[in-house]
């Protein structure tokens, strides 16, 4: 993917954030929903805009898909014209081809906001880490020397029942959940986000996990940090995995 191409768009006002927790096993037996992966496109030169791509193979159909988001971190909203989405219409269309279509469609947006600053992963809870509910993560801004960190912050994620546009109880036999994210610095906690009614784009979330914290290269400070939250909406064959980006500097 050539993410160094240009892009076009204006800031809109659609909040991006959510989180919730429910015992998935109680609702879904051993099923195989689709687990999207994430690729970081980058930050803008002024660190105001952040872009990432989620992609994978859809459960049920087996068709490849890709969604690319460009976020105005100052307003915690998608920019107009995003997310850029594309899904194959047959299994013969490769994931690589689908991702290239999205990269081409998003090129003007990437250029408009000069999104070419690399992403630095400050902390991450990998998918292969066992026995973790991923509801807390301690991190700091990476330093130069091995193991050196600036700051000592802890993210805490909690969930609660809420209201969604979709008929979640009818579709999945359970009410949707929202999330609250807070950050603590030396014992002083600050609320980052708390869901109200869920947007239609969220579907019917069954659980949330903290995936990681990213910062712009050579701009690694809390004011520029973004939390990546995994969200698990109900899907055709079980809960799927998608991503939310939550600015921590607001």
User: 79-120, pLDDT tens digit by residue?
Assistant: 999 999 999 999 999 999 999 999 999 999 999 999 999 999
Q: Which of the pair, 3 or 125, is modelled with greater confidence?
A: 125
Domain assignment of residue 243, given as a range: 11-247
**Taking the alpha carbons of 171, 76, 159, 31 in that order, is the dihedral positive or negative?**
positive
pLDDT for 233 equals: 94
Average pLDDT in the 136-163 region? Answer: 94
Q: What is the total count of domains within the chain?
A: 1
**Are the C-beta atoms of 51 and 120 separated by less than 8 Å?**
no
Residue 113 located in a structural domain: yes
Residue 151 scores a pLDDT above 70: yes
Residue 28 scores a pLDDT above 80: no
Q: Whole-prediction pTM value?
A: 0.86
Residue 240 located in a structural domain: yes
Percent of the chain with pLDDT over 70: 86
pLDDT for 25 equals: 31
Residue 204 located in a structural domain: yes
Residue 17 located in a structural domain: yes
pLDDT for 113 equals: 97
Give one word for 62, left, alpha or beta, with left for phi > 0 and alpha for psi -120 to 50: left
Integer angstrom CA distances of residue 220 from 138, 151, 216, 226, 230: 15, 11, 6, 10, 22
pLDDT for 105 equals: 98
Residue 4 located in a structural domain: no
């Amino acid at each position: 993917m050539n993410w160094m191409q240009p892009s076009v768009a204006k800031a809109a006002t659609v909040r991006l954030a959510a989180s919730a927790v429910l015992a998935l096993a109680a609702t879904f037996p051993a099923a195989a929903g689709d687990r999207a992966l994430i690729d970081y496109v980058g930050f803008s030169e002024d660190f105001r805009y952040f872009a990432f791509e989620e992609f994978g193979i859809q459960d049920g159909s087996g068709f490849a898909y890709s969604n690319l988001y460009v976020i105005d971190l100052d307003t915690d909203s998608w920019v107009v014209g995003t997310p850029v989405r594309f899904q194959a219409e047959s299994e013969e269309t490769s994931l690589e081809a689908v991702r290239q279509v999205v990269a081409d469609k998003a090129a003007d947006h990437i250029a408009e906001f000069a999104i070419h600053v690399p992403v630095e992963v400050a902390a991450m809870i990998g998918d292969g880490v066992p026995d973790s509910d991923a509801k807390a993560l301690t991190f700091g801004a990476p330093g130069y020397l091995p193991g050196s960190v600036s700051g000592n912050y802890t993210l805490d994620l909690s969930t609660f029942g809420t209201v969604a546009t979709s008929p979640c109880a009818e579709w999945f036999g359970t009410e949707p959940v929202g999330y609250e994210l807070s950050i603590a610095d030396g014992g002083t906690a600050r609320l980052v986000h708390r869901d109200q009614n869920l947007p239609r784009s969220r579907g019917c979330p069954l659980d949330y996990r903290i995936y990681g914290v990213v910062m712009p290269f050579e701009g690694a400070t809390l004011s520029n940090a973004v939390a990546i939250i995994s969200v698990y909406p109900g899907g055709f064959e079980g809960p799927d995995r998608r991503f939310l980006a939550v600015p921590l500097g607001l």
